[in-house]
């Protein structure tokens, strides 16, 4: 029986490097996610309207195209170690988004050096859209009428978006602005779904006899629907 850790301890940089190395190792299928795609994937699953258990995500981490190919772990203990790190990654992102969203930052790759350095956000956005694909019905209201935030992620995370980017030829400045906006997009979407799925606040307090009647008449409750005659059958 596997004993997968679900520790709340945040990952160290060394442990993040370990996840990245595992995902890029020969033990993984060629279609395994990289760590930037994984970050976007987990962010979408944590943010969405319905709970998706992290273990349901595992097949898509190993095989981002079909969710079928399996990794070649040498021992059950090795499997436990990798999945334990992934679950801690999930918890770390969830805690940040839920408790300290201002500290959230997407994990994206950089290319080049100095002033020529560019952010590569396609992998993160692709992972985010894969997360949405695990709950298409739940996300449908947002996808049917896309906000600016989800539209940006769709632009860099879908084939139709890439075709649009090729057509528009927006240039590196637009990509830099998009990368800078990505964290705000992710936290805004997370906040939207938390508000949309929050249970309604119900006022169960008893109306006082001298309080205004809830019918809107402007009269005191005792002189309106609280009067004895109003309660007679």
Enter the tokens of residue 98: 């839920």
Enter the tokens of residue 68: 């079928």
In the block, residue with structure tokens 């019918």: 215
Rounded distance between C-alpha atoms, residue 109 and residue 23, angstroms: 15
Give the helix ranges, DSSP H, for the chain. 13-23, 35-47, 54-62, 76-99, 122-133, 136-144, 148-157, 159-168, 172-196
- Identify the segments of the chain with pLDDT beneath 70: 1-7, 114-116, 199-233
What architecture (CATH level 2) is domain 13-196? Up-down Bundle (1.20)
Q: What was the pLDDT predicted at 2? A: 39
Q: What was the pLDDT predicted at 213? A: 56
Enter the tokens of residue 186: 């992710």
Q: Which among 189, 201, 193, 116 has a CA at the least distance from the CA of 153?
A: 189
Rounded distance between C-alpha atoms, residue 187 and residue 154, angstroms: 16
Q: What was the pLDDT predicted at 169? A: 85
Domain ranges of the chain: 13-196, 203-233
CB 223 within 8 Å of CB 212? no
Q: What was the pLDDT predicted at 165? A: 93
Rounded distance between C-alpha atoms, residue 142 and residue 33, angstroms: 25
């Amino acid at each position: 029986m596997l004993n997968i850790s679900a520790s709340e301890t945040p990952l160290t940089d060394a442990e993040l490097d370990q996840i990245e190395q595992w995902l890029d190792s020969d033990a993984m299928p060629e279609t395994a996610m990289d760590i930037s795609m994984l970050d976007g994937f987990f962010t979408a699953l944590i943010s969405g309207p319905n709970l998706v258990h992290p273990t349901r995500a595992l097949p898509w981490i190993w095989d981002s195209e079909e969710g079928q190919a399996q990794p070649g772990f040498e021992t059950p203990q090795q499997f436990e170690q990798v999945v334990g790190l992934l679950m801690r990654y999930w918890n770390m992102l969830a805690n940040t988004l839920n408790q300290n969203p201002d500290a959230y930052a997407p994990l994206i790759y950089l290319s080049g050096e100095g002033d020529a350095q560019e952010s590569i956000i396609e992998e993160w956005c692709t992972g985010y859209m894969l997360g949405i694909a695990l709950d298409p019905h739940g996300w449908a209201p947002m996808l049917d009428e896309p906000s600016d935030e989800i539209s940006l992620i769709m632009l860099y995370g879908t084939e139709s978006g890439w075709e649009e980017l090729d057509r528009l030829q927006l240039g590196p400045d637009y990509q830099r602005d998009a990368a800078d906006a990505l964290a705000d997009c992710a936290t805004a979407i997370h906040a939207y779904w938390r508000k949309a799925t929050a249970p309604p606040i119900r006022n169960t307090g008893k109306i006082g006899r001298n309080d205004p009647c809830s019918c809107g008449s402007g009269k005191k409750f005792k002189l309106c629907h609280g009067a004895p005659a109003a309660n007679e059958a």
